[in-house]
Every structure is written in C-alpha cells, then in structure tokens.
Amino acid sequence: MVKHGPRPLVICGPSGSGKSTLLKRLFAEYPETFGFSVSHTTRKPRPGEQDGVHYNYVTKEAMEEAIKRGEFLETAVFSGNIYGTSKHAVRQVQAQGKVCVLDIEMQGVEQIRNSDLNPILVFINPPSIEELERRLRGRATETDESLKSRLETAKHEIQYGNKPGNFHCVVHNETLKQAYEELRDFIETELKREKQEGVTVSLKRVPLPEDF
Ligand SMILES: Nc1ncnc2c1ncn2[C@@H]1O[C@H](COP(=O)(O)OP(=O)(O)OP(=O)(O)O)[C@@H](O)[C@H]1O
C-alpha cells in the first residue's frame, strides 16, 4: 500500500458552530501537526497574492477539464469564479507529515467520504438553533438576511451531522473549554494510533496562554 502520511481531518458544522475558533486553538497548541491545503481558483490574483501560496490560479478551461478528470474533492462557485480543493493539494500537505485540515460543507463531506483519502470526519454541533443565532449575532458578521439563510441551512446540517454513521466524532460545542477538550482528545487518540502504525506526524504540544 502507498503511504500517504496522516489522514486528513474534515471539520464540518453549521456557520457559527465554532469551527474556526476550535481550529485556531488546535493549531496553536500543536504548531507542527496541522496544515491547510492550497485551493484552486479561476479568479485573478489580487495584489500581493502569490500563486501556489494563497491559491493555485488557473484558467476556467483548465479547471473545468481537471474537474472532469475527477481531480477535485469539492468545488464551489462564488461570484462567477470557480474555487476547489484538489486531491493533489491535500496529498502535498500529507507528504510533509502534516494532518491536512479541511473545513467543508455537507456536499463536500459526501464527496470526500467517497474518495480514497480516508479522512477523519468531525462534526461541530451547536447546543441549539437559538444559541447558534445568539453566537452569530454576537459575531456581528451577518445581515438579517444572511443570518436567516444560515440558520435555515443549519437545521439540515444539524440533522445530517447527528445521523449515526455520518461522522466519526460529534463535538458538542456547549462551552469552548469542554468542546475543545473533546475535539483534542479525539484527535490525539487517533493520531497516536496512526503513529503506532508507522505514520510520521508530530504531536508536540505547547502550552496555551490562560486567556486563549
Ligand atoms: N462554546 C462557545 N461559547 C460561546 N461562544 C462561542 C463558542 N464557540 C464559538 N463561539 C463564538 O461563536 C461565534 C462563531 O464561531 P466561529 O466563527 O468559530 O464559527 P464557524 O463555525 O467557524 O463559522 P463560519 O462557518 O461562519 O466560519 C464566534 O463569535 C465565537 O467566538
């Protein structure tokens, strides 16, 4: 069997469920363990952006051909431009001995589940729709309209996330401390097992500041 490095980690959950907050802690506590893949896009680079660093910039034709060849795990269209995560980009992170973290939506999860990447699938579950709304309002990033649409989508996502068999772990994000510990313990156990099986991955931990 070809060795690819550590299994990728898929994090899924409704907007506002706490994915970015939890991942930020994970990256801070394990500075050598995790990495993000570089996505592809058909939009033009903005000043200061570097090809292969911020995105892989490609033409629409090239991207469409690559999608047809099945090279992408997931794609999405925003304001007329195609964006996507290629399998190759994930493999590049794995080749550095890092866990490739993929923050993706339900449709993407279905695609990656059926790929040969063998990802660890984690769902971040908010305590309730009401609390999710409070947190999204607290973040102050949404208009009334986008809030409504996010909450509507969240209902379906919560159902999907809690369906037995859909995820390897469901983290209930009640308090940040408890949710983070659940996530960290699950991932540590998994990575220790992979290490025992001969996969190279660093589990070096650095102390987080009290007020992180
Ligand atoms: N356990 C918690 N208790 C209270 N507030 C929380 C908790 N977890 C996250 N939050 C807050 O909820 C808001 C949404 O969290 P975050 O931005 O991490 O969500 P997200 O899942 O990454 O959303 P998106 O998919 O829209 O990027 C943030 O303001 C965050 O500080």
Q: Are 128 and 172 in contact (CB under 8 A)?
A: no
Residues contacting residue 62 through CB under 8 Å, at least 6 positions apart: none
Angle made by CA atoms 141, 159, 145, in degrees to the nearest 5: 30
Is 150 catalytic? The answer is: yes
Whether ligand 1 lies within 6 angstroms of the CB of 20 is answered as yes
Whether ligand 1 lies within 6 angstroms of the CB of 15 is answered as yes
Answer yes or no: is the ipTM higher than 0.95: yes
Dist. CA 196 → ligand 1 center (Å): 34
**Rounded CA separation 173/124 (Å):** 7
Whether ligand 1 lies within 6 angstroms of the CB of 18 is answered as yes
* DSSP for residue 52: T
- What is the tens place of the pLDDT at every residue in 95-122? 999 999 999 988 889 889 988 899 999 9
Catalytic residue among 7, 25, 43, 46: 46
Whether ligand 1 lies within 6 angstroms of the CB of 126 is answered as no
pLDDT of residue 108: 87
Across residues 49-76, what is the average pLDDT?
Answer: 96
Instruction: List the domains of the chain with CATH numbers.
Output: 9-36+99-196 (3.40.50.300)
Whether the per-residue pLDDT at 1 is higher than 60: the answer is no
